[in-house]
Amino acid sequence: MKTMKQIIPAIMLFALIAVSCNRAELERVNQENAQLKEQLATRDADMEGFMQVFNEIGDNLADIRTREKMIVKNSATTENGDRVTSVKDDIRAIDEMMKQNKENLARLNERLKNSTGENSQLKRMVEGLQTTIREKDQEIVQLVSQLETLNIEVQDLYSSVSDLRMETIEQGKVIDTQVEELNTAWYVIGNEKDLREKEIITKEGGFIGIGRVNKLNRDFDEEAFTKIDIRQKMVFNLDAKKLKLITSHPSDSYLLRQNEDTKRFYRFEIVDPEAFWKNSNYMVLAVE
């Protein structure tokens, strides 16, 4: 049997181990509590920041509604110069508040993206606010349009209208450019020998030099060609004994005009521009 002297040290060792384990567990629990408190504090700070921005947007929207009513009231009598000035001042103020609303909404979305934890409720709130601001923006655009019909010039005072107008102008420019590109072609008329020397055309195909035909050079110099609008340029006046169309175009899309007495070609006419330029935007006429 073990003596008391042998048992006591074992008990003390066990107690020491137990105390050490309890201390480690306590430290772990304290650390977890500290992390939880930090997370809660961060979440509370996020929520407080969200609510502050929400309230600011709400206050702006309420002020905007009040100013809209005043605009409607003051625009009823446009002969009064002071009222027209007041309408313009209110539009300017609304414009600034709507800009702030959009900036704040962007901040909310950024906060939502960087915040911790599950934020499905906040996400729904932000989405609802975004819809509200978009609808309010459309409502003000309509109000501005109505004021314009009353000869109250306020289009330049509300950013969304100005932005929309600039966007429309830019889109129009893009469309005009695209239309111009679609209706642009290039042509050159010249002596066959000169066209070869300028490397515009080259002979290809055939067998041991027999049966070769003139083709448009793959590496031709575009500067040798004249640029045209195919909607406007369809007639090409010339004076040639012989005429040959080097580039490929449907035969029923053009006409060759020839003088019955001299048998010389005096005009090349495109009668179906869409079909004529379908295969190529380049036309090469070799004349002699």
Q: What is the pLDDT along the chain (288 residues), one digit of tens a residue?
A: 445 555 555 555 555 555 555 566 556 555 655 555 555 555 555 667 677 877 888 888 888 888 888 888 888 765 666 778 888 888 888 888 888 888 888 888 887 777 655 567 778 888 888 888 888 888 888 888 888 777 777 777 777 766 655 555 556 666 677 788 888 999 988 888 888 888 887 766 544 444 455 677 677 777 888 898 988 899 999 888 888 888 888 989 999 888 888 889 889 899 999 899 988 888 888 888
d(CA 6, CA 8) in angstroms, rounded, equals 6
pLDDT at 125: 80
What stretches of 184-251 show up as alpha helix (H) in DSSP? 192-197
* 252 phi/psi in degrees, rounded to 5: -90, 5
Pairing of strands 184-191, 282-287: parallel
| 216-249: pLDDT as tens digits | 767 777 788 889 898 889 999 988 888 888 888 8
Write the CA distances from 56 to 14, 45, 63, 97, 102, integer angstroms: 63, 17, 11, 10, 12
Dig out the tokens for 83 from the structure: 């009222």
